A and B are shown apart, each in its own frame.
Chain A
Amino acid sequence: MADLILTPNLDSADDFYAGLLAAHDGLDKSASDALNARLVLVLANHIGDADVLTQAVKAAALRGS
């Protein structure tokens, strides 16, 4: 079973984050939510591996104490 990567893996974290915020620039709440939803689906497709995706959903569901 492939493991979900939970250690730093982004080429440039700050650039990615700035790009993500820029994509949301000027959108209202529902347009932003829709963008995020589409982004999740695009990324999920890129990952493909069902095990990894299951682990990712679990990791995201874990919240602060």
Chain B
Amino acid sequence: MNKIFEVPLYAYERSSDQDAATAVRHKVIVIGAGPVGLATAIDLAQQGVEVVVLDDNDKVSFGSRAICFSQRTLDIADRLGAGSPMVDKGVQWNVGKVFFDNRQVYEFNLQPDTGYANPAFINLQQYYFENALVDRVRQLQAAGAPIEIRGRNKVEAIGTHDSHVVLEVETPEGPYNVEADWLIACDGANSPTRRMLGLDFDGRVFEDNFLIADVVMEADFPTERWFWFDPPFNRGQSALLHKQPDNVWRIDLQLGWDIDKEREKRPENVIPRLKAMLGEDVDFDLEWVSIYTFQCRRMERFRHGRVLFAGDSAHQVSPFGAMGANSGIQDADNLCWKLKLVLDGKAPEILLDSYSRERVQAADANIAKSSRSTDFITPKSQISRLLRDAVLDLSEHFEFARPLVNSGRLSTPCTYQDSSLSSADALNGPDITRPGSACPDAPLGDEFLLPKLAGKFTLLTIDAGAPERIEEGGVEATRLALSVKDDLTLELKRRYLGDATGAVYLIRPDQHVAARRDTFEENAFRQAIRRATGKE
């Protein structure tokens, strides 16, 4: 059986750079063809920025790792031209069940929220997610976009200069040197770039181990998320069962701290554990097994001169809440438009420091969230376990305790609170669209709002006047004129107006709100554009 992650999707090919007398200089080099590196490269190439991706491997993620992708990620993937194959392949689920000891304590139904093009989240193997991005790279190449992936190109050394970086790259045919104006390190949690530059990566290790297994089975478990606290088949620990496409099921079993990882990973030890959970008579195949110790940590800053860090190289969270890949995709979303403006000379380099500030804020929010989930799932003191078990006991009988049960809080986009790019809120509007927020989608008849906001500055007017375009210091914002009448479901009004009768929004290319007012006021919006591009 040939799994997609066993096939070289970007096999090594000799590049003319390897035969050049002097090192060739590229605009941008991305290290790492994981989800974040691929998304970054696509985003840049779509804007016409020349980009080369170097990866020491030639295949998508071995085994699944990430399985849960959020609405915000899918919205970004749509902007990158790769969203629909993901949603088509992905599994959607609404029902979750929580078990404690030998009984189900409650069941929840995440009623699908309406009025969004994309579901709240999908389950999809990371290798399919990456595969959709690789397909998109191939599509862009066919259309002549300046993007290249070089498989089995391992970065061995990095020299940083004021105006560029120099890389030494190892290939099956020997090493070569190559240069770039900008380097984006998407080389994962063990980031060799970080190590080579001698940079810190501090945080907290959770003293626990988890067995992560993906099993293939023709079982009639429903498409639901089942989470066990202290079940009979894994006493004192937790367990998770979650469905992926192709009859693949994700199983997480907490194992505790003092274990022999190599021993626990052997099939003869894994299979009895899974049988205890699934039942003796269930037939399954192991697709992938791994043992993880979770960590929550981040770099102090994500920009170091001409080197930018994105994804796991910059920050790492425990997987409860599926925030790793999801937040990495949002890093790419935040970074690429800024880098494009800087490359075009339309914004000062300090705009890139706002990338670091905004995404550090997001990383801290994610780390706090996933640390809390981890503390609930794996209580580390007697009192913490006592309180946890009290919550679970109460949750069986009383609805009030259920929001306290924390088996992972799903990834949500960060609102860049107090960002230097945002202007003061000048609309008595809904909280969810205050400056700094990621724009929520809204239905517009047969269409949706977000695709109309993609990749450029937009002046969104809702029952308000404004010029069709304004330009400030080379940065253009074009108008999208809407009326609450365009959306009979009134979601547009609910999400963007609230009690206001009209509004003008300045929306960044990454679909975050930069400024909003009740009416168009030229000076205010010119200033807002300057702020949003690091000029004020």
Contact = CB atoms under 8 A, between A and B. Distances in A.
Contacts of B369: 14
A24 B383 CA distance: 7
22 contacts: A5-B400, A6-B399, A7-B400, A14-B372, A14-B406, A14-B409, A17-B372, A17-B376, A17-B391, A17-B404, A18-B372, A18-B375, A20-B387, A21-B384, A24-B384, A29-B382, A32-B382, A59-B397, A64-B100, A64-B101, A64-B396, A65-B103
A9 B375 contact: no
Nearest to B395: A64
Interface in B372-424: 372, 375-376, 381-384, 387, 391, 393-394, 396-400, 402-404, 406, 409
Contacts of B399: 6-8
B404 A6 contact: no
Contacts of B404: 10, 13-14, 16-17
A9 B376 CA distance: 20
Contacts of B103: 64-65
A27 interface: yes
A21 B375 contact: yes
A64 B101 CA distance: 10
Contact of B398 (A6, A18, A32, A63): A6
Chain B interface size range: 20 to 34
Contacts of B101: 64
Interface of A, secondary structure class, is helix
A62 interface: yes
A8 B396 CA distance: 14
Contacts of A64: 100-101, 103, 105, 393, 396
A24 B393 contact: no
B372 A8 contact: no
A14 B383 CA distance: 17
A62 B372 CA distance: 27
Interface in B95-112: 100-101, 103, 105
Chain A interface size range: 20 to 34
Contact of A8 (B100, B387, B402, B406): B402
A17 B374 CA distance: 13
Contacts of A5: 400
Given A10-B403, A14-B372, A17-B404, 7 more contacts: A8-B399, A9-B400, A13-B404, A14-B404, A17-B391, A21-B384, A24-B381
A64 B398 CA distance: 11
Interface string A29-51: 10010001000000000000000
B396 A27 contact: no
A27 B383 contact: yes
Contacts of A27: 383
A10 B403 CA distance: 9
A21 to B, nearest CB: 6
Nearest to A63: B393
B400 A6 contact: yes
B132 to A, nearest CB: 33
B403 A13 contact: yes
Nearest to A27: B383
A8 B393 contact: no
B147 to A, nearest CB: 41
A14 B374 CA distance: 12
Contacts of B398: 6, 59
A32 B404 CA distance: 20
Nearest to A62: B397
Nearest to A59: B398
B403 A32 contact: no
B429 to A, nearest CB: 21
Contact of B406 (A9, A17, A36): A17
A18 to B, nearest CB: 5
A42 to B, nearest CB: 16
A65 B392 CA distance: 12
Q: Closest 10 interchain pairs by CB?
A: A13-B403, A32-B383, A6-B398, A24-B383, A13-B404, A8-B403, A7-B399, A64-B393, A6-B400, A8-B400
Which of A6, A17, A20, A32 has the most C-beta atoms of chain B within 10 angstroms of its own C-beta?
A17
Nearest to B403: A13
Contact of B383 (A9, A18, A29, A63): A29
B387 A21 contact: yes
Nearest to B373: A14
A29 B384 CA distance: 11
A60 B402 CA distance: 15
B49 to A, nearest CB: 40
A5 B399 CA distance: 10
Nearest to A14: B372
Contacts of A17: 372, 376, 387, 391, 404, 406
A19 B479 CA distance: 45
A30 B404 CA distance: 24
Contacts of B391: 17
A26 to B, nearest CB: 9
